């Protein structure tokens, strides 16, 4: 009897513990709160189709439009001049860039001039007797002959016999020999063909310069040129005379250039065509890195939007009755940050800023500038 009572008590204790634990568990259960419906605010723009200029971006380094590599055609020692032959030295048009010592060669030229003068003097008695009609002009030529000046042209022949006589005395050959030496004498001095600056000097005063040796480089600092490579797609759109906006990458200084030449060949490796832009302005230097925006053409009935708004499969998000929808568009040009698209109906409200997690049918709220101003006034 005692064992039976103990067994019943044990069963009752176990059953009580079970029901007590269930009660405790049920009392700790909390209902999960229902998530609140979040409506995202989006920024929109109303589409107004118009004419969008297609601008091609290109970069390059400036070079002087007129550049001279200075070479000597004669040999001599570099003489000192009024200006040092050093990089950075500026010259005006016609000023002497450099001059070589030509004293020895000058003496040989003077010797040949003297020989020509003596030859003409020797034939004067014969001219007086045999060709009296030609005597006066040859006498006048001798009178005007100055050995320290450039040799004047020989008088024209009055008759064929006179020409045979002068040629037979070797006067013409001596004259052209003198003119050849005078031309060579002028090459001992190099003058500036335009106003500019010396950018490189490879010799110094007292240096023996040999014929054919490069002595420096000289550039015109008034006009520069920018060579840019453009995709062959726009080869037919680039025209000589188009204005180009140029800007520096560090100071963002703006310049206006002009397309002066477009290469007729397309680079086979890069499939690009070279265009050359002329630019003038203060602060420009050779080697300056510039970015150019070339207006290739104008696209009608189009809009320009940030590239981040264009969705896969060439679609755009639009808002209609607070619901996100997509429309198909036709991209016509991609730049670094923008894309020009066509096919957007006039007056369509498109999303103007990317919306994270956006999907078709999403409920949204259009941002209103008035709401912000009212909240600020409160």
pLDDT in tens, 326-346: 999 999 888 778 889 999 999
What does DSSP say about strands 289-306 and 243-248: parallel, antiparallel, or unpaired?
A: antiparallel
Task: Confirm whether 42-52+300-377 and 68-102+188-219 share one CATH topology.
Answer: no
* Sequence ranges of the domains in the chain: 42-52+300-377, 55-64+222-297, 68-102+188-219, 104-185
* pLDDT average, residue stretch 5-17: 72
* Higher pLDDT pick, 336 / 171: 171
d(CA 61, CA 138): 61
pLDDT band at 374 (very low <50, low <70, confident <90, very high): very low
**Are 258 and 232 contacting, i.e. CB atoms less than 8 angstroms apart?**
no
- Rounded mean pLDDT, 148-166: 90
> What would the CATH number be for the domain defined by 55-64+222-297?
2.40.30.170
pLDDT confidence band for 378 (50 / 70 / 90): very low
| pLDDT value, residue 183 | 94
User: Cα–Cα distance between 194 and 64 in angstroms, integer?
Assistant: 13
* Predicted local distance difference test score (pLDDT) of residue 185: 93
1 band by pLDDT with thresholds 50, 70 and 90? low
Q: Under a CB-based contact definition with an 8 Å cutoff, are residues 356 and 324 in contact?
A: no
More confident: 13 or 320: 320
Both structure tokens of 42: 């989006």
Measured between alpha carbons, how far is 206 from 106 in angstroms, rounded to an integer? 19
Domain 68-102+188-219: give its CATH architecture.
Beta Barrel (2.40)
Q: What is the mean pLDDT of the chain?
A: 86
Query: Nearest Cα to 119, choosing from 62, 73, 51, 175?
Result: 175
* Mean pLDDT confidence for 93-101: 93
Q: What are 180-222's pLDDT values in tens digits?
A: 999 999 999 999 999 999 999 999 999 999 999 999 999 999 9
CATH architecture of residue range(s) 42-52+300-377: Beta Barrel (2.40)
pLDDT at residue 244 in the model: 86
- Whole-prediction pTM: 0.65
Question: What pLDDT sits at residue 25?
Answer: 65
pLDDT in tens, 98-142: 999 999 999 999 999 999 999 999 999 988 888 888 899 999 999
**Above 50 in pLDDT, residue 372?**
no
Number of neighbours of residue 133 by Cβ within 10 angstroms:
10
Reply yes or no on whether the pLDDT at 86 is more than 90: yes
């Amino acid at each position: 009897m005692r064992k039976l009572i103990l067994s019943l008590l044990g069963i009752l204790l176990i059953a009580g513990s079970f029901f007590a634990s269930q009660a405790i568990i049920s009392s700790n259960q909390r209902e999960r709160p229902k998530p609140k419906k979040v409506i995202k605010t989006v920024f929109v723009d109303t589409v107004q189709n118009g004419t969008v200029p297609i601008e091609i971006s290109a970069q390059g380094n400036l070079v002087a439009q007129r550049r001279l590599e200075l070479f000597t055609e004669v040999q001599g020692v570099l003489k000192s001049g009024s200006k040092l032959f050093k990089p950075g030295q500026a010259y005006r048009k016609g000023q002497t860039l450099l001059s070589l010592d030509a004293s020895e060669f000058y003496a040989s030229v003077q010797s040949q001039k003297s020989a020509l003068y003596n030859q003409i003097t020797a034939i004067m008695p014969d001219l007086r007797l045999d060709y009296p009609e030609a005597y006066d002009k040859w006498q006048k030529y001798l009178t005007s002959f100055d050995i320290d000046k450039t040799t004047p042209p020989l008088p024209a022949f009055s008759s064929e016999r006179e020409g045979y006589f002068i040629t037979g005395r070797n006067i013409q050959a001596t004259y052209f020999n003198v003119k050849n030496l005078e031309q060579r004498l002028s090459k001992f001095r190099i003058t500036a063909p335009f106003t500019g600056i010396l950018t490189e000097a490879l010799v110094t005063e007292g240096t023996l310069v040999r014929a054919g040796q490069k002595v420096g480089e000289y550039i015109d600092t008034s006009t520069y040129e920018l060579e840019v490579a453009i995709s062959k797609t726009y080869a037919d759109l680039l025209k000589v005379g188009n204005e180009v906006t140029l800007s520096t990458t560090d100071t963002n200084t703006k310049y206006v250039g002009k397309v002066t030449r477009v290469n007729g060949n397309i680079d086979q490796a890069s499939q690009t065509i070279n265009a050359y832009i002329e630019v003038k302005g203060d602060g420009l230097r050779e080697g300056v890195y510039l970015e150019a925006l070339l207006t290739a053409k104008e696209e009608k009935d189009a809009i320009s939007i940030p590239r981040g708004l264009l969705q896969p499969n060439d679609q755009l998000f639009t808002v209609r009755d607070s619901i996100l929808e997509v429309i198909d568009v036709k991209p016509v040009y991609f730049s670094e940050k923008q894309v020009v698209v066509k096919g957007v109906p006039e007056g369509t409200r498109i999303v103007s800023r990317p919306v994270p997690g956006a999907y078709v049918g999403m409920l949204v709220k259009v941002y209103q500038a008035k709401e912000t101003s009212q909240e600020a006034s409160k």
